[in-house]
Amino acid sequence: MKEIINVQVGQCGNQIGAKFWEYISEEHGLQTDGTYKGDNGSQLERITSYYKEMEGRKYVPRAILVDLDPESINYVRSTQYGKLFDPENAVSGESGAGNNWSRGYYEQGAEIVDKVLSVIRREAEAADSLEGFQLIHSLGGGTGSGLGSLLISKLREEYSDKTLSTCSIIPSAKVSDTVVEPYNAILSMPHLMDNCDENFCIDNEAIFDICQYNLKLENRVTYGDLNHLASLALSGITTFQRFKGNLKTDIRKLNTAGSPRLHFFMTSFAPVYGKGIIDCQAFSISDLTQQVLDAKNIMTCNHNQGKFLSSAIIYRGQQTEKKDAEQIISVENEDPSEMIESLPKSTNTDVCDIPSRGLKTSATFIANSTAIQEPLKRISKQFAGLFRRKAFLHWYTMEESEFTDAENKVNDLISEFQQYEKVHSA
């Protein structure tokens, strides 16, 4: 069994991480104390990819909880599934990063990074056949961005032959009024570009709009609502690392663009439902496909603004059949008028009979698309607006060249997406 170690960093990373573990624990039939009370043997077939089996057949998440402020880790421990986590796998500092990338990377973060790596090594040594790491963080906060970047670089250096993926939350002014978030995001991007195999990007702007318009929450959107949607997507993305499948949807194969840097993926989940709501109706493969490919349900950006490089759809639930999934994609590729004209004919599909938490049927869409440049351009423009005025630079105590280098790398990435788009539009 190939094991994945999950590292959740900062307040956002730990809040999404807490929900992610709650949702997948329910999918695997685990109770809040880690004991199995499920009703399907498939729930246990690959459970050790994300959990360690302990005495008394209790399962403990392969998770490392990291924050510069102990508050978010205390929050995780107070949640319904908080007792699942190994208390020795939590590492915190004494004060937060104050939304400052430099503090997370060079200062407070650097003070605890060796302790974090020591815990990670212990987890890695306990694995029989480690596949790699999954890191959950925000690109806007100081700890998630700064310490997250530092950990990503250290993990790549020490575990060069292991996979390294992230669930990275892109900041938005619709959600947060922290003015330096564009600095933090752009400073993080080179570390993601150079060190990661896959970056699953969730844009706070997109999921805020989903909450506001699709879920009709209007002005009542909370971080809990946003974290719920991000956790749904992440549970879907990790389906075939946790459950048996044909692995036709091996996510590592989605980076087919011919460039090692184009590994920033968009995602969506269907049906979209609000936190606290369970037992939604069963949807057909056709309905799920329509929903998951609807631009209003994409959690990253509008896919109509770019070209697809590769894509996959994962269907879940006992009422889903693989042959039906393949037929739907085949038919829609022949007559794409009702769906997406540019959806690749090579779109991979797979089916898992274990349903998503609280649902009868669901689908997750993952795509490598040039449309990802849109949120990157938004953040880059905001960064430039601050940097040209040298606004708040004194908070960072860094050389200006570090900002310039990061900005140039992100703009080069955007140009690479644009060039790929031109070639495939010709």
Alpha-carbon distance values, 69 to 116, 210, 297, 393 (Å): 14, 30, 33, 23
φ/ψ of 55, rounded to 5, equals -60, 145
Q: Which CATH superfamily is domain 271-370 in?
A: Tubulin/FtsZ, C-terminal domain (3.30.1330.20)
> How far is the C-alpha of 332 from the C-alpha of 344, rounded, in Å?
11
* Average of per-residue pLDDT values in the chain: 91
Q: 238 near 251, Cβ under 8 Å? A: no
Query: CA angle, 37 as apex, 63 and 245 as ends, to 5°?
Result: 65
pLDDT of residue 285 exceeding 50, the answer is yes
Confidence band, pLDDT 50/70/90 cuts, at residue 321: low
* Two tokens, residue 1: 């069994």
Question: Which is more confident, 94 or 8?
Answer: 8
Can you give the pLDDT at residue 252? 64
Percentage above 70 pLDDT, the chain: 89
Can you give the pLDDT at residue 81? 96
Q: Which CATH class is domain 374-425?
A: mainly alpha
Confidence band, pLDDT 50/70/90 cuts, at residue 248: very low
Q: 203 near 172, Cβ under 8 Å? A: yes
Alpha-carbon distance values, 414 to 26, 192, 193, 306 (Å): 39, 14, 12, 12
Average pLDDT over residues 23-39: 96
* Two tokens, residue 380: 């880059």
Question: Which is more confident, 57 or 251?
Answer: 57
Query: CA angle, 218 as apex, 212 and 223 as ends, to 5°?
Result: 65
DSSP 8-state secondary structure symbol assigned to residue 262? -
pLDDT of residue 325 exceeding 70, the answer is no
> How far is the C-alpha of 142 from the C-alpha of 183, rounded, in Å?
10
N-term to C-term CA, the chain: 44
Q: What are the residue ranges spanned by the domains of the chain? A: 3-268, 271-370, 374-425
With residue 366 as reference, give the H or E element that holds it.
strand 362-369
| Number of CB atoms found within 10 A of residue 386's CB | 18
Can you give the pLDDT at residue 342? 52
pLDDT of residue 326 exceeding 80, the answer is no
φ/ψ of 175, rounded to 5, equals -105, -35
Nearest in space to 57 (alpha carbons), one of 71, 47, 65, 67? 47
- Domain 3-268: give its CATH architecture: 3-Layer(aba) Sandwich (3.40)
Alpha-carbon distance values, 64 to 18, 80, 115, 191, 200 (Å): 11, 18, 11, 20, 19
Query: CA angle, 64 as apex, 83 and 249 as ends, to 5°?
Result: 105
What letters, b where the CB count within 10 A reaches 16 and e where it falls short, cover 63-92?
A: bbbbbbbbebbeebbebebbebbbeebbbb
pLDDT per residue over 335-360, tens digit each? 444 445 556 667 888 899 999 998 99
Average pLDDT over residues 179-204: 98
Average pLDDT over residues 80-95: 96
pLDDT per residue over 122-151, tens digit each? 999 999 999 999 999 999 999 999 999 999
Average pLDDT over residues 177-197: 98
* Two tokens, residue 407: 């900005």
CA atoms within 13 A on the CB side of 216: 0
Ordered DSSP codes for 155-186: HHHH-TTSEEEEEEEEP-TTT---TTHHHHHH
Question: Which is more confident, 337 or 179?
Answer: 179
For residue 91, the cross-strand partners are 66
Q: 99 near 180, Cβ under 8 Å? A: yes
Question: Which is more confident, 106 or 339?
Answer: 106
> How far is the C-alpha of 404 from the C-alpha of 187, rounded, in Å?
9
